[in-house]
Amino acid sequence: MRVIGLGLASTATAADLARALAAAGPADAVALLAGREGHPALAQVAVPLRPVPEAAIRGIATPTQSPRILARFGCGSVAEALALVASGGALVAQRRCVGAVTWAVAETATPPATKGPQT
């Protein structure tokens, strides 16, 4: 499963979000902080939204660190922590910013297909 974690400032626009999602590539879901689901920029998002409670990202280790975000949310990057929590996998793209949108991507390795019993 491939998940894009989004940090959305209140000033984020639909254009910012469209550019961020295009840069992030295809995804199975978009993770964002619970309570942000009604953000106007999200109106045209075509993949499922996965709201994540703020408490779930506190203490998540992230490769990039923002002192401001660390003080406010207890993790170095909201986007990275959201992607990690929602996917249960590993980061494949560290946080990047497009306007007022910060994004990161994590994915879970897909297990190899198993063959049926040998006869």
CA 37 to chain centre: 13
Helix (H) / strand (E) containing 14: helix 14-24
Distance between CA atoms of residues 84 and 88, nearest Å: 6
- Using 50, 70 and 90 to split pLDDT, how confident is the model at 114? low
Give me the domains of the chain, ranges plus CATH numbers: 2-107 (3.30.420.180)
pLDDT, average across residues 41-64: 96
Helix (H) / strand (E) containing 53: none
- Using the predicted structure, report yes or no on whether residue 112 has a pLDDT greater than 70: no
- Using the predicted structure, report yes or no on whether residue 110 has a pLDDT greater than 80: no
> Could you tell me the pTM of the whole model?
0.90
Query: For residues 110 and 83, which has the higher predicted lDDT (pLDDT)?
Result: 83
pLDDT, average across residues 48-75: 97
Tell me the average pLDDT of the chain. Answer: 93
What pLDDT was estimated at residue 119? 47
